[in-house]
Amino acid sequence: MNNVDLIFSGGVVGAGGAGFPTHVKLSGQGDSVVVNAAECEPLLHKDKELIRNYADRVVYGLSVAMQAIGASGGFIGIKRKYVDVIERLRIEVTSGMEISLLDDTYPAGDELVLIYEVLGRVVPPGGIPISVGTVVLNVETLFNISEAVEDNPVTDKYISISGAVKNPCTVCVPIGSSFSDVISAAGGVDIDEPAFVVGGAMMGYVESDLTKPITKTTGGIIVLPKNHFVVQRKLWGLSRAVRVGRSACDQCSFCTELCPRNLLGHPIEPHRAMRSLGFSANGQSDVKGTQFCSECNLCSYCSCPEGLDPRSICAENKRRILTEIRNGAPRWTNPPFRTERTKQHFHNRKMPTERLIKKIGLATFTNKAPLNHQTPIINRVVIPLQQHIGAPSTPTVKQGDEIQKGHLIASKNESALGANIHASISGIITNVTNNSITIEKT
Ligand code: SF4
Ligand code: SF4
């Protein structure tokens, strides 16, 4: 098997985003690989911890990815403030690799923002990185690539646990561990009325069911008081965003002026989406540019002086427009694309992370999560069959089977995009459903 086949076989998917199957990304040809080590979500640190502890593996993964797509350049985008992490990388990088230093801003890890910062190229609206000759891979994805080409499939997940926990840290846990198992590994919660934000304060969601499993894409859990600004805003719901937005938006357009995608020249103007609420009974917007929203939440949590929620309006309209396109509606061909705007305003309108952290009320929490080398003891995992973009995987085991960690338990659906899934602990298969496979240690 060649390396891309091994990466497919090992079930590697994008560990920092939606879980796009990595073998598909690496089946194209490009001139460069950009490493997303920006990790711009406040309080999350697992990518830095992976580099601190395993820089050699991450850089090896980068060399495999470069070779797979025929790239002559590998660019590691990391914030310049992480001096010790950068030193670890400097020891490991080889010919053709560069470390690209980023400012401490949000959202530096937005794939399109990162490509502009690192390569000076702007991906057109609706385009993907390979359309400008590059592939973007997250740090943990590279780590997983380095393991997969040595025949070690993806079985574990690195995850930061931060906020109101006793010992904020990063841990490595078997995929399918419960959220509560992982929170225990950080010493447990240290407030009375906690809420749990999964995936990051800016782009994550509030989860109340702590039996839910860690997947290949879970990046972090932040524990916050129930009445915290971030929690409350995530619980607003669309109807409130529409009602308040319709009555209180004064069209100052700060949301648009500071929107990272607008600053790249894309035709997204959240203030226009907000304006359209006044002309629609059901909160729908005809503003087509909303389909280019990255859902970074900067407009809603930071830019809007009225405390409104343009992101929810843009995200809802984006989903509706994309559904219509999937159902046969024509795509917007050649949307306007103002690259001169990027050159004019991009750098002086970036949002400093420190300011963002203060603004959304996270400054009182420890902003570090060192790797805890003690792997928690996990006796039961529930492994979802859908942890990636594409179709759910098909179980290859049945109840009662005895399996070892690393064995294939569900294979990619043959006719669709997807990924293989492997046992994350050794034990007995105790349940197989359409959604998940349960393994219990014997
Ligand atoms: S920043 Fe707020 S008030 Fe200003 S246009 Fe945008 S949504 Fe309206
Ligand atoms: S969430 Fe707001 S700031 Fe972010 S891309 Fe969408 S419209 Fe722009």
Q: Domain count for the chain, please give it.
A: 4
73-79 sheet: strands from edge to edge:
97-102, 73-79, 32-36, 134-138
Residue 175 lies in a domain: yes
- The pLDDT, as a whole number, for residue 19 is 94
Asked if residue 46 and residue 18 are part of one domain, the reply reads yes
Asked if residue 201 and residue 83 are part of one domain, the reply reads no
Q: What is the pLDDT of residues 72-95, one digit of tens each?
A: 999 999 999 999 999 999 999 999
Which residues form the domain of 370? 155-228+362-376
pTM, whole model, 2 decimals?
0.95
- The pLDDT, as a whole number, for residue 98 is 98
- The pLDDT, as a whole number, for residue 285 is 59
What span, in angstroms and rounded, lies between the C-alpha atoms of 257 and 277? 19
Alpha helices in 266-365 (DSSP H): 270-276, 298, 310-326, 339-345, 353-359
427-432 sheet: strands from edge to edge:
380-384, 436-440, 427-432, 402-403
| Residue 281 pLDDT > 80 | no
- The pLDDT, as a whole number, for residue 442 is 85
Q: Is 63 in the pocket of ligand 1 (CB under 6 A)?
A: no
Identify the bridge partners of residue 330 per DSSP, sorted by sequence position: none
Identify the bridge partners of residue 165 per DSSP, sorted by sequence position: 189
Residue 89 lies in a domain: yes
Question: What element of type H or E holds 427?
Answer: strand 427-432
Can you tell me the mean pLDDT for 399-417? Answer: 94
Residue 233 lies in a domain: no
Asked if residue 274 and residue 199 are part of one domain, the reply reads no
Where a domain ends, among 148, 180, 214?
A: 148
Q: What is the pLDDT of residues 299-352, one digit of tens each?
A: 999 999 999 999 999 999 999 999 999 999 988 888 888 877 777 788 899 999
- Position 171 confidence tier, pLDDT thresholds 50, 70, 90: very high
For the record, the structure tokens of 83 come out as: 């001096």
What span, in angstroms and rounded, lies between the C-alpha atoms of 63 and 199? 28
Asked if residue 130 and residue 60 are part of one domain, the reply reads yes
Residue 299 lies in a domain: yes
Asked if residue 186 and residue 313 are part of one domain, the reply reads no
Asked if residue 179 and residue 102 are part of one domain, the reply reads no
Residue 58 lies in a domain: yes
Can you tell me the mean pLDDT for 228-253? Answer: 94
The answer to whether 138 touches 47, Cβ cutoff 8 Å, is yes
Residue identifier of the C-alpha nearest atom 6 of ligand 2:
293
What span, in angstroms and rounded, lies between the C-alpha atoms of 134 and 125? 16
Identify the bridge partners of residue 437 per DSSP, sorted by sequence position: 383, 432
| Residue 371 pLDDT > 80 | yes
Residue 235 lies in a domain: no
The answer to whether 21 touches 60, Cβ cutoff 8 Å, is no
Residue 335 lies in a domain: yes
CATH number, domain with residue 395: 2.40.50.100
For the record, the structure tokens of 193 come out as: 């009325």
Residue 236 lies in a domain: no
- Position 283 confidence tier, pLDDT thresholds 50, 70, 90: low
Where a domain ends, among 125, 148, 171?
A: 148
CATH number, domain with residue 185: 3.10.20.600
348 phi and psi angles, rounded to 5 deg: -90, 0
CA angle, residues 176, 201, 110, in degrees to nearest 5: 90
Q: Pick the atom of ligand 2 nearest to 311's CA.
A: 1
| Residue 282 pLDDT > 70 | no
Asked if residue 159 and residue 142 are part of one domain, the reply reads no
- Centre of ligand 2 to C-alpha 379, Å, is 41
- Centre of ligand 1 to C-alpha 291, Å, is 18
Asked if residue 366 and residue 351 are part of one domain, the reply reads no
Where a domain ends, among 148, 180, 196?
A: 148
- The pLDDT, as a whole number, for residue 17 is 78
E strands present in 190-280: 194-198, 205-207, 220-225
Out of 123, 261, 345, 349, give the residue to mutate to test ligand 2, the one with the largest number of ligand atoms within 8 Å of its CB.
261
Q: What is the pLDDT of residues 102-156, one digit of tens each?
A: 999 999 999 999 999 999 999 999 999 999 999 999 999 999 999 999 999 999 9
Instruction: Report strand pairing: 156-163 vs 220-225.
Output: parallel
Q: Is 252 in the pocket of ligand 1 (CB under 6 A)?
A: yes
What span, in angstroms and rounded, lies between the C-alpha atoms of 5 and 235? 42
Can you tell me the mean pLDDT for 221-231? Answer: 98
E strands present in 41-119: 73-79, 97-102, 105-106
